[in-house]
Structure 1
Amino acid sequence: MIAETVCSAVSAAGLGIAAVMAYRKRFHRAGRIAAYALVPLGLVMTGAVGWLAHTAFSVTAWAGFGVLGLAWLLFMSTRAVERRSGGTRKERKAARTAQGDAVAPSASTPTLGASNRPAPTRRGSDSASDDFSDIEAILKKHGI
C-alpha cells in the first residue's frame, strides 16, 4: 500500500515538472520527463510494485537472488580462467597440431636462388641527416 502511494506521488511530481517544462517551451525535455514519470504509475497499475514489495521482504526471494549471484560469479570466474589458460585441452591440442601443419619443414630454405637486387644498406647517422636535409629543403622552398 505504501509503495503504491509513493509511486503515485512520484508520478504526480514528475508530471508537474513536465508541465513546468512545457510551459517554458522545452517540449522535448517535457516529453521525456513525462515518459519517465508515467513509468511508476504504469508499474502500480500492472501490480508489479506490489509484487516487488512482497519480494523485497521475502527471505526466500533474497536467498534466490543470492543463489543467482553465486551462479553468475562461478560462470564469470570459469570464463576468466578459461581465457587465461588458453581454452580447453582439446582446443590447445588442436591449435598445436594446426600450427605444426601450417609450415612445411623445408619452407625455411630459399627456393628461388640468389636475387639480382643488392641488399639494402643501413647508414646509421647518415640516414637521419638525409631525412633532415630533405625536410630542410622543403622548409627553404616555402620560405620558412
Structure 2
Amino acid sequence: MIAETVCSAVSVAGLGIAAVMAYRKRFHRAGRTAAYALVPIGLVMTGAVGWLAHTAFSPTAWAGFGVLGVAWLLFATTRAVERRGGGTRKERKAAKAGQGEAVAPSASAPALGAPSRPAARPAAAPRASDSAADDFSDIEAILKKHGI
C-alpha cells in the first residue's frame, strides 16, 4: 500500500514538472518527462509494484536469488576452467600422449643444434629439388606479375 502511494506521488510530481516544461516551450523535454512520469503509475496499475514489494521483503525470495547467484557462479567458473584447458582426465591424457609424439622427429633438429646421430634417408626418396624449383618459379612469376 505504501509503495503504491509513493509511486503515485512520483508520477504526479513528474507530470507537474512536465507541465512546467511545456509552459516554458520545451515540448520535447516535457514529453519525455511525462513519459518517464507515467511509468510508476503504470506499474502500480499492472500490479507489478505489489509483486515486487512482496518479493523484496520475502526471505524465501532472497534465498532464491542467492541460489541463482551460486548457480551463475558455478557456470562461469566451469566455463573459465574449460577455456583454460581443463576438461576430463581422458582428454588431458590424450593431449599429453599426443604431445610426446612428433610428426617428423628430424624436423626440429636444425633449431636444436647438431643432431646427435645422422638422420637416415630413405633409399627410394624422390628428389624434392625439382618440384621445389617448379613451385618457386610459379611464385616468382606471380610476384613479377604484381610488381614485387
1:61-100 alpha-carbon deviations (Å, 9 max, x no partner): 111111111111111121122222277776xx79xx9xxx
1:26-55 alpha-carbon deviations (Å, 9 max, x no partner): 222211111111111011111111111111
Aligned-partner Cα distance in 1 for 2:86–2:36? 46
**Is structure 2 residue 117 aligned with structure 1 residue 113?**
no
1:67 corresponds in structure 2 to: 67
Aligned-partner Cα distance in 1 for 2:25–2:19? 10
The letter of the residue matching 2:8 is S
State how 1:39-54 maps to structure 2 within 5 Å. Answer: 39-54=39-54
1:86-128 alpha-carbon deviations (Å, 9 max, x no partner): 77776xx79xx9xxxxxx97xx9663317577xxxxxxxxxxx
Q: What SS does structure 2 have at the residue aligned with 1:85? A: coil
Q: CA RMSD in A?
A: 3.4
Aligned-partner Cα distance in 1 for 2:35–2:82? 44
Count of residues paired in the alignment: 109
Aligned-partner Cα distance in 2 for 1:82–1:28? 51
1:19 corresponds in structure 2 to: 19
1:122 corresponds in structure 2 to: none
Aligned-partner Cα distance in 1 for 2:87–2:17? 54
1:79 corresponds in structure 2 to: 79
The letter of the residue matching 1:7 is C
1:29 corresponds in structure 2 to: 29
TM-score (norm 1): 0.61
Task: Mark the CA change 1:79 to 1:46 in structure 2 (over 3 Å): closer, same or farther.
Answer: same
Between the two proteins, what is the percent identity of the paired residues? 77
Task: Mark the CA change 1:34 to 1:86 in structure 2 (over 3 Å): closer, same or farther.
Answer: farther
2:124 corresponds in structure 1 to: none
